[in-house]
A and B are shown apart, each in its own frame.
Chain A
């Protein structure tokens, strides 16, 4: 079964750090772009970051550039999102999603999400 499982969310103070993980199973991880999308409480979906299968190409939404870093460990079939200098407005459910072989392919598999709460 193709599956994505996120972990690492939690409560953190403003200015703090958190690392999210997304572990994939049921498919060849290195053949896919992987993405992070977030959803603030009661709000819509917002793209955060993407990485290609071998980790050589990344992209970020402007509001996280310089603060968040996406990376992959193909040996562990896992994509990470290192989040530093967290702000209250980063509070959201963070979803991991699978893309295709090409950058512009749709997100066809989503994880269940992990909640990040930034509050003092």
Chain B
């Protein structure tokens, strides 16, 4: 059972917008910034969004992040076949004094 809660799956057709939620508590998302990682099949994770809504160099602006209270979300607009991957949210937890990840959301492009 992950500290951060994500839906196990999400899907959309090419060009659609998909949103992934990440729910936490006051000791994690409520107090700290959220990062998002994606993991293509058989590869290592990669940073997608940091500090709630910042994109590292090279990440397309189709990806956007937001945070409100104890929840965060990742939006993928203009969905493409290469976006099929697992997506994880993560943040620091002040109570656990450690990093916590969501359980991951598998995005499928129909």
Binding site for B on A (CB under 8 A): 35, 37, 44-47, 50, 59-62, 95, 97, 103-113
Contact = CB atoms under 8 A, between A and B. Distances in A.
The 6 closest A-B pairs by CB, nearest first: A106-B50, A47-B99, A106-B35, A44-B104, A110-B44, A45-B101
Classify the interface of chain B: helix, strand, loop or mixed: strand
Given A45-B88, A106-B35, A107-B35, A112 B99 contact: no
A47 B98 contact: yes
Contacts, number: 61
Contact of A47 (B33, B50, B101, B103): B101
Nearest to A100: B50
28 contacts: A37-B45, A44-B2, A44-B101, A44-B103, A45-B37, A45-B39, A45-B45, A45-B88, A45-B90, A45-B101, A50-B98, A50-B99, A59-B98, A60-B98, A61-B98, A95-B44, A95-B45, A104-B33, A104-B92, A106-B35, A106-B50, A107-B37, A107-B45, A107-B90, A110-B45, A110-B47, A111-B44, A112-B44
